[in-house]
Amino acid sequence: MSATSNEFFVGIKPIEYNPQASVDDLLVFKQYNQDEIILGKPMHEWLRFAVCYWHTFRGIGADMFGAPTFDRPWDQSGNEMQIAKDRLRAAFEFFTKLGVKYFTFHDRDIAPAGETIEQTEKNLDEIIQLAKELQKQTGIKCLWGTANLFADPRYMNGAATNPDAHVFAYAAAQVKKAMEVTHELGGENYVFWGGREGYMSLLNTDVRKELDHLAAFLRMAVEHKKKIGFTGQLLIEPKPKEPTKHQYDYDAQTVMGFLNYYGLNKDFKLNIEPNHTTMAGHAYEHDVEMCSRYGMLGSIDSNTGDSSLGWDTDQFPMNLRDCAFVMKTVIAQGGLAPGGLNFDCKVRRESTNLQDMFIAHIGAMDCFALALRKMARLFEDKKYDILVQQRYASYNETDIGKKIEAGTATFEELHAFIKKNGEPAKTSGEQEKFEVIFNRYLD
C-alpha cells in the first residue's frame, strides 16, 4: 500500500481498450471491448469474466518443493482479520482496475477459520459485511461461492463421502453457511467441487455407500437453497483425480449419469474446468461440448494445463484455438448466464511482479475476446451447422432414418431393410476438411 492512500496497485490505471496499442503495451486490451455488440449482445455479457479469490489473492507462489515466492503488499499487517480485510480491499481494487464484473470465492479464502464453528462463522460474517460494502461501492458482483471441504485435516478422508458421519455433518454445517453467505452477496451460482470426494484405495472403500451419501448431501443442499430463498444455479465441477486417486465427479458424462441416477438432474448444472477435462484424458473442449449438448453447461473455470505435465497447473488460457472451441459451444447455446468464465488460474510461481497479475488476466481476456470475434463469424456463416447437418441427413430424409429418430423402428424392420438394400455406400468423414475450415476462421 502506498503511504498516502489506500491504493495497493500503485501506478496501475484502469485497463482500457486500445486496438492500436503497441505490442509492448501490456496493460491494455487489444481485443476485449466490453460494450461492443457481438451477435446482438455486448462482449461482457458473452464472456462474464470472473477473478477467483483463491489463486489470485491467496496464492503465495509456494509449490511442493519450495517456499512462497510472492510478497504481496496486502499480506503484511500481522493480524489475521486485518490482513483479510486489506486483502479484500486490494481484491476489489484489482477487479475494478481490470474491469471484470465478477469474482468467485471459497469461504476459507476470504475469512480465516477460528477455533470453533461459532468463531469461524463470526469471522466470515465480518468479512462478508465488508465485501457487501465494497460490492456496493464498485458494482462488482459475485459469480459464485463455494466451501473449501478439502484443506482442513478433518476432511482427509473426504467430506460428504467421509466414512465418518460426524465429518459428513461438519461438511453440511459448513456448506449451509457458505450457501447463506453466497446468497447474502447476491451470488448468481453456488459450486460444489468434490475436493476429496473419491477414494485412494478400493480395499478400504464402500463406493456405493459413499455415492449414496454424496447424493443425500446434495439433496440437502437443494432443500436448503429453497429454505433460504437462494435462486442461484447449483453447479458441480467435475475432476477425475487429484487430490484423490479417483474423484467420483470424474468428468461431465459421469456427473450427468450420477445426477440422473439420483434424480438430481433438474437441480444442478456443471461447471467445467478444461484443465480437469484434459486430466480425464479428453480434448480440452470435450466436457464443455458434452454437457452443453444436454443443456447442462452452467459455467466454466476457464484455465488450461500444460500438455507435457498432466497435472492441474491452473494456467491462464492463452491459446486461441482452445478458447475458440469453448466460445463455439458457448455461442451455440446462446451464452453462459447465470454462469461465466471464471479464471481459476494462478500466475506462475516465478511471476512475482504485481503487474503479472494484470498481464495474465488481460492476456486471457483478450484471448477469449478474440475467440468470440472469430467464432461469431463462424456462427453467422452457419458453416458447421450446414456441414454437420449434411452428415446426418439420412435421419431426416429417409423413411428408415426418420423411424430410428422417432424411436419407432425395430430390429426386425432394420434387418429386412438391410436384406433389401444391402451394403451402405461409403461416406467420407472429411475430418481434415472440417479442421482446415476451422483454421480459416482463426485467421
Which spans of this chain sit near ligand XUL (rule: CB under 6 A)?
106, 146, 191, 193, 237, 239, 273, 301, 312, 344
Task: Read off the amino acid at residue 172.
Answer: A
Cell 448468481 -> residue: 188
How far apart are alpha carbons 213 and 160 in whole angstroms?
6
Q: Which CB sits closer to ligand XUL, 143 or 378?
A: 143
Question: In terms of CB distance, is 151 or 388 closer to ligand XUL?
Answer: 151
C-alpha cell at 296: 447442462
Q: Does 314 bind Co ion (CB under 5 A)?
A: no
**Could you tell me how far CA 133 lies from the centroid of its own chain?**
26
For residue 304, the cross-strand partners are 315
Nearer to ligand XUL, 54 or 168 (CB): 54
Residue 288 CB, shortest distance to ligand XUL, in Å, is 15
Q: Which stretch binds Co ion (CB under 5 A): 161-169, 213-221, 254-262, 273-281?
A: 273-281
Contacts of 206 (CB under 8 A, 6+ apart): 163
Q: Is there binding between residue 287 and Co ion (CB under 5 A)?
A: no
CA distance 303 to 83: 28
Length of the chain: 443
Residue number with CB closer to ligand XUL (9 or 144): 144
**Of 292 and 302, CB closest to Co ion:** 302
Instruction: Please answer whether residues 256 and 296 qualify as being in contact, where contact means their C-beta atoms are separated by less than 8 angstroms.
Output: yes
CB of 432 to Co ion, least distance (A): 34
Given the complex with ligand XUL, which of 121 and 273 has the nearer CB atom?
273
Name the segment binding Co ion (CB under 5 A); options: 62-70, 110-118, 270-278, 408-416.
270-278
Interaction partner, residue 141 (ligand XUL, Co ion, none; CB < 5-8 Å by kind): none
For residue 19, list its beta bridge partners: none
Smallest separation, CB 375 to Co ion (Å) = 23
Q: Is 191 helix (H, G, I), strand (E, B) or coil?
A: strand
Give the up-direction half-sphere exposure of residue 180: CA atoms within 13 A in the CB hemisphere.
Answer: 13
Size of residue set near Co ion by CB under 5 A: 3
Nearest distance from C-beta of residue 139 to Co ion, angstroms: 25
User: Of residues 44, 55, 106, 282, which has the active-site annotation?
Assistant: 106
Q: Which listed option, ligand XUL, Co ion, none, makes contact with residue 146 (CB within 5 to 8 Å by class)?
A: ligand XUL
Q: Return the range that interacts with Co ion (CB under 5 A); candidates 97-105, 342-350, 402-410, 424-432.
A: 342-350
Q: By C-beta, is 43 or 52 nearer to ligand XUL?
A: 52
Beta strands in 231-364 (DSSP E): 233-237, 246-247, 268-272, 297-301, 341-343
In the complex, least distance from residue 126 CB atom to Co ion, rounded to whole angstroms: 27
Rule CB under 5 A: say whether 301 interacts with Co ion: yes
Q: Where are the beta strands (DSSP E) in 12-130?
A: 16-17, 28-29, 37-38, 41-42, 49-52, 102-106
Question: Maximum CA pair distance of the chain?
Answer: 88
**Residue 213 binds which entry of Co ion, ligand XUL, none, with Cβ cut-offs from 5 to 8 Å by kind?**
none
Residue 249 binding Co ion, by CB under 5 A? no
**Spatial distance between the Cα atoms of 235 and 297, rounded to a whole number of angstroms:** 9
- Going by C-alpha positions, the residue among 248, 247, 265 that lies closest to residue 256 is 265
- The CA-atom distances, in angstroms, between 126 and each of 84, 147, 228, 315 are 10, 17, 20, 32
**C-alpha 107 chain-centroid distance:** 17
Asked if 251 is part of the footprint of Co ion (rule: CB under 5 A), the reply reads no
106 is a catalytic site residue: yes
- The region of 283-291, 336-344, 404-412, 419-427 touching Co ion under the rule CB under 5 A is 336-344
344 is a site residue for Co ion (CB under 5 A): yes
Binding partner of residue 251 among Co ion, ligand XUL, none, CB under 5 to 8 Å per kind? none
> Strand pairing of 189-193 and 233-237?
parallel
Beta carbon of residue 143, minimum distance to Co ion (angstroms, whole number): 12
CB of 276 to Co ion, least distance (A): 7
- Catalytic positions are 106
